[in-house]
């Protein structure tokens, strides 16, 4: 590789790294506790214990949970219904409008056996919620997400340029050699290069999945304009369906399960929300096995008569979003994979910190 080309790649690596380093350090520091968010949430779980019930107690129809939630908050309408994996609880989200802002909705946990509320959920409460918001959008909403996505792209460029310049830099050195007889700056340079090249694959995966995650709202909007619009084309031009005309949500769930018998419900979006249309219950179904539980399939059920309108798998960009979310935090391999992710996260912090040190020491030497 020619000297001029090497210098260009070195310049690209230096400045793309410096521009995004501060934000990458913030993401690495906040990402460390988020890797263990399930374990931390379980350790500080303050949910009310469910009342005792017979072992053979059956769950009630879904419509009963909707009635409970709307009775607790008069004037509000249901938006979503999700289901706990570890206990017989349905979480019903309600608000005064179909697409409320953050903080203008209520999430009620309801015992599926008795249709009685067992607590209200506040996704913005607690230190983990603060850390999560800081990591996702820096409390700036969509602009914050897109900004962090841009920083992630710069980080990916710095990774590629670092790999390119590594080979000519190490031409006269053995792989992984640390020149302990040289100055402290040279020793840190060798450590920085070794750790960077050894973890390049991992930081690349985490960086790319992070960029994809920042596009979640954008990709959902594309899905609505593309896939959802095509599925609901016969309904276009019709007036919005009033809430009084909605049929049974339990019937909609059964219709969707019959259309995809090897799946389980992930959540239900009510008419008018961003994951449904103005005329449908959208029953989002997930695979029943660990290998397919991230693959969601929306089934659109006419809210008036409970008939199936369409069922279609997610397009590639929504599939990429679903698969990137657990991979970003190491959620695929239970605790051992999370520990590995945490160790690599610490290494990434060392790489970023050493990069800043090398730049500052070079500036002092030049001065």
Q: 88-123: per-residue pLDDT in tens?
A: 899 999 999 988 877 788 999 999 988 999 877 766
Chain segment 247-300, per-residue pLDDT in tens: 999 999 999 999 998 889 999 999 999 889 999 999 999 987 766 777 889 999
**DSSP per-residue letters across 33-66:** HHHTHHHHHHHT--PPPPPP--TTPPPPPHHHHH
Q: Say what the pLDDT of residue 348 is.
A: 95
Phi/psi at 233 (5° precision): -60, -40
Residue whose tokens read 């402290």: 184
Which residues, 6 or more positions from 71, have their beta carbon under 8 angstroms from its beta carbon? none
DSSP single-letter state for residue 99: S
Check: CB of residue 361 under 8 Å from CB of residue 185: yes
Q: How buried is 28 (Cβ within 10 angstroms: 0-12 exposed, 13-18 middle, 19+ buried)?
A: buried
**Separation of alpha carbons 61 and 59, rounded Å:** 7
Q: How buried is 280 (Cβ within 10 angstroms: 0-12 exposed, 13-18 middle, 19+ buried)?
A: buried
- Crossing angle (nearest 10°) for helices 184-198 and 334-366: 150
Q: How buried is 341 (Cβ within 10 angstroms: 0-12 exposed, 13-18 middle, 19+ buried)?
A: buried
Check: CB of residue 284 under 8 Å from CB of residue 265: yes
**Separation of alpha carbons 153 and 157, rounded Å:** 6
Tell which residue, 250, 252, 262, has the closest CA to residue 299. Answer: 252
Instruction: Kindly report the average pLDDT of the chain as a whole number.
Output: 88
Return the higher-pLDDT residue of 120 and 24.
24
For the chain, give the percent of residues with pLDDT over 90.
Answer: 50
Q: Cα–Cα distances in Å, from 131 out to 74, 126, 145, 205, 328?
A: 32, 9, 14, 22, 16
Q: Say what the pLDDT of residue 48 is.
A: 64
Check: CB of residue 355 under 8 Å from CB of residue 185: no
Label residue 46 by pLDDT band (50, 70, 90): low
Return the higher-pLDDT residue of 18 and 123.
18
């Amino acid at each position: 590789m020619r000297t001029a080309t090497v210098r260009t790649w070195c310049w690209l690596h230096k400045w793309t790294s410096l521009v995004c380093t501060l934000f990458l350090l913030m993401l690495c520091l906040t990402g460390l506790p988020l890797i263990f968010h399930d374990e931390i949430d379980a350790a500080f779980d303050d949910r009310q214990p469910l009342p005792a019930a017979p072992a053979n107690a059956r769950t009630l129809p879904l419509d009963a949970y909707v009635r409970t939630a709307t009775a607790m908050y008069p004037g509000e309408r249901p938006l979503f219904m999700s289901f706990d994996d570890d206990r017989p609880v349905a979480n019903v989200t309600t608000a005064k409008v179909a697409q409320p802002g953050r903080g203008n909705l209520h999430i009620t946990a309801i015992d599926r056996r008795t249709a009685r509320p067992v607590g209200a959920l506040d996704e913005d409460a607690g230190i983990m919620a603060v850390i999560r918001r800081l990591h996702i959008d820096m409390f700036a909403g969509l602009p914050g997400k897109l900004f962090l996505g841009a920083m992630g792209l710069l980080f990916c460029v710095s990774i590629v340029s670092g790999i390119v310049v590594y080979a000519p830099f190490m031409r006269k050195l053995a792989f992984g050699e640390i020149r302990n007889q040289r100055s402290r700056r040279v020793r840190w340079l060798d450590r920085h290069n070794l750790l960077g090249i050894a973890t390049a694959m991992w930081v690349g995966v985490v960086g790319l999945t992070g960029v994809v995650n920042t596009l979640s709202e954008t990709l959902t909007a594309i899905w609505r304009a593309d896939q959802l619009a095509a599925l609901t084309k016969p309904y276009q031009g019709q007036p919005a369906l009033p809430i009084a005309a909605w049929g049974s949500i339990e019937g909609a769930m059964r219709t969707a399960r019959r259309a995809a018998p090897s799946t389980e419900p992930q959540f239900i979006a009510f008419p008018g929300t961003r994951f449904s249309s103005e005329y449908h219950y959208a029953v989002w179904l997930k695979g029943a096995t660990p290998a397919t539980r991230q693959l969601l399939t929306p089934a659109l059920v006419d809210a008036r008569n409970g008939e199936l309108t369409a069922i279609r798998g997610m397009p590639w960009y929504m599939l990429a979003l679903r698969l990137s979310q657990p991979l970003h935090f190491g959620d695929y391999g239970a605790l051992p994979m999370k520990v590995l992710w945490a160790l690599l996260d610490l290494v990434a912090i060392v790489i970023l910190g050493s990069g800043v040190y090398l730049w500052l020491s070079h500036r002092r030497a030049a001065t």
